[in-house]
């Protein structure tokens, strides 16, 4: 320790036998386990207990230091990790230089292979609170086990600890899915809360998805895409296209010769245009795809002439007094042959254990009965028929997380 530099070491003494007997950690481990030797969720818990004040950003006598970016480095010994490239992929976007030491097997026994642990060092100019939060979340991302049962509390923790850096992290899907131990219901909850309206779902469809975890937003877009494709349509308009995840699917399929995205938000459209590389698009692409800014509650000629219109997770962003204008524009004026519309099923919020809307910009969320009533009434009024289906895992009591109505007219 010197006036300029100090080191803190956190050493845990874990009794492997009490883990097995369930005194700690709910008896989640076998007798022979590595827990006392590795950096794991026990380390995260210890970080939050020992460095809780620093993590909250409070510095009492030295608040200016707590608020400044400092030249910090952290070494995590014996971090379980076999996917070494993920270390850089996860830590480098947070501003760290990453180095690590691996433990290759004994020269005598090459067949033992890599032991699957690293000593990791990260170094960067960051605030101490950020470094601690990164470690708190990311140690258990690499160590696949947790010493407690993962449940909705973990979603809150992840959103709280990750709010400043997780939404834009290129590996956010990997981090979320691993942190929540690949429980799809919880992963969905995080993305539903991070995503709607704030246009943070960028690139989700191009990111590798961990096996077995296909988050809800992805299933939703794929279900909508399949429904549209099955109509045989060649022209489609995506109303409230956001960053263009659905448009991307249409572009990749040559059945669709005319593809248009509309959004009221210029920021969303800008991101959409970047993601679709519109600046570099050639003549044929520009003929095939169009983006424009507009609102679904005003009659606009550019909304007409498409065989199919998609309205995915948009209606709940419209103020109830403007709904009638929206119906008139879409069903009365634009009048595509098919309309594929999705919206959250509010009953399912009980499964997510939230008693608010899924996103703060949602003006309402409908139960299945409310959605059916609106859809049937609107279909009748404008000469459409409607069929319903659910998207995502169906809960016996509360139904699916997303509900879809497919409207058709002759």
CB 29: neighbour CB atoms within 10 A?
18
The footprint of ligand SAH on residues 54-83 (CB under 6 A) is none
Q: Which is nearer to ligand SAH, 10 or 267 (CB)?
A: 267
Asked if 237 contacts 296 with a C-beta cutoff of 8 angstroms, the reply is no
Q: Name the one residue in this structure whose structure tokens are 């979340």.
A: 137
Q: Is 241 in the site for ligand SAH (CB under 6 A)?
A: yes
**Token pair in block for residue 18:** 């009490």
H-run or E-run covering 118: strand 117-126
Q: How far is the CB of 293 from ligand SAH (least distance, A)?
A: 9
Q: Does 345 bind ligand SAH (CB under 6 A)?
A: no
Total residues contacting ligand SAH by CB under 6 A comes to 19
Distance CA 17, CA 30 (A): 9
**What is the spatial distance between Cα 348 and Cα 34, in angstroms, rounded to a whole number?**
39
Interaction of residue 236 with ligand SAH, rule CB under 6 A: no
Between residues 122 and 241, which has the closer beta carbon with respect to ligand SAH? 241
When binding is defined by CB under 6 A, the residue of 25, 140, 162, 240 that contacts ligand SAH is 240
CA–CA separation, 243 and 202 (whole Å): 6
* Residue 245 interacting with ligand SAH (CB under 6 A): yes
Q: What is the C-alpha separation between 5 and 71, in angstroms, rounded?
A: 10
Stretch 187-216 residues interacting with ligand SAH (CB under 6 A): 196-197, 201
Residue 242 is a binding residue for ligand SAH (CB under 6 A): yes
Site for ligand SAH, residues 305 to 334, rule: CB under 6 A: 312-314, 317-318
HSE toward the beta carbon, residue 168, CA cutoff 13 A = 5
| Residue 375 interacts with ligand SAH (CB under 6 A): yes or no | no
Instruction: Return the biggest CA–CA distance within the chain.
Output: 80
Q: Which stretch binds ligand SAH (CB under 6 A): 72-80, 113-121, 249-257, 293-301?
A: 293-301
Residue keyed to tokens 């010994």 = 77
- Least distance (Å) from ligand SAH to the CB of residue 106? 51
State yes or no: residue 295 binds ligand SAH (CB under 6 A).
yes
Note whether 129 binds ligand SAH by CB under 6 A.
no
Q: Compute the radius of gyration of the chain from its Cα atoms.
A: 25
Q: Considering only 137-145, 179-187, 292-300, 343-351, which stretch makes contact with ligand SAH by CB under 6 A? A: 292-300
Closest-CA residue to 150 (of 116, 184, 174, 117): 184
Q: Which of 165, 119, 126 minimizes the C-alpha distance to 142?
A: 119
Q: Interface with ligand SAH by CB under 6 A: which residues?
A: 196-197, 201, 240-242, 245, 263-265, 268, 295-297, 312-314, 317-318
């Amino acid at each position: 320790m010197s006036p300029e530099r100090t080191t803190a070491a956190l050493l845990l003494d874990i009794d492997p036998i009490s883990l097995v007997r369930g005194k700690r950690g709910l008896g989640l481990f076998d007798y022979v386990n590595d827990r006392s030797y590795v950096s794991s969720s026990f380390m995260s818990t210890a970080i939050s207990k020992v460095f809780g004040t620093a993590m909250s950003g409070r510095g009492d006598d030295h608040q200016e230091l707590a608020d400044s970016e400092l030249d910090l480095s952290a070494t995590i010994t014996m971090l379980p990790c076999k996917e070494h490239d993920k270390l850089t992929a996860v830590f480098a976007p947070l501003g760290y230089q990453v180095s690590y030491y691996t433990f290759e097997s004994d020269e005598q026994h090459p067949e033992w292979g890599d032991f699957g642990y690293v000593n990791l060092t990260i170094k960067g100019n960051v605030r101490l609170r950020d470094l601690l939060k990164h470690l708190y979340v990311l140690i258990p991302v690499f160590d696949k086990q947790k010493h407690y049962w993962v449940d909705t509390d973990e979603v809150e923790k992840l959103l709280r600890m990750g709010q400043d850096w997780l939404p834009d992290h290129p590996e956010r899907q990997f981090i979320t899915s691993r942190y929540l131990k690949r429980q799809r219901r919880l992963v969905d909850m995080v993305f539903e809360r991070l995503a709607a309206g704030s246009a943070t779902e960028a690139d989700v469809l191009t990111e590798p998805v961990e096996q077995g975890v296909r988050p809800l937003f992805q299933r939703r877009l794929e279900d909508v895409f399949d429904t549209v494709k099955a109509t045989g349509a060649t022209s489609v308009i995506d109303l409230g296209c956001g960053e263009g995840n659905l448009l991307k699917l249409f572009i990749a399929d040559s059945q669709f010769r005319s593809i248009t995205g509309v959004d009221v938000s210029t920021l969303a459209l800008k991101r959409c245009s970047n993601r679709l590389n519109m600046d570099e698009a050639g003549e044929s692409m520009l003929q095939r795809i169009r983006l424009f800014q507009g609102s679904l509650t005003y009659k606009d000629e550019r909304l007409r002439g498409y065989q199919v219109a998609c309205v995915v997770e948009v209606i709940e962003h419209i103020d109830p007094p403007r709904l009638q204008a929206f119906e008139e524009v879409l069903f009365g004026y634009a009048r595509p042959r098919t309309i594929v519309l999705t919206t959250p099923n509010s009953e399912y919020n009980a499964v997510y254990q939230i008693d608010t809307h899924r996103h703060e910009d949602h003006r309402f969320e409908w139960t299945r009965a409310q959605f059916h009533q609106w859809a049937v009434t609107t279909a009748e009024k404008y000469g459409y028929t409607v069929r319903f289906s659910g998207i995502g895992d169906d809960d016996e009591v509360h139904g699916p997380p997303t509900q879809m109505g497919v409207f058709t007219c002759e």
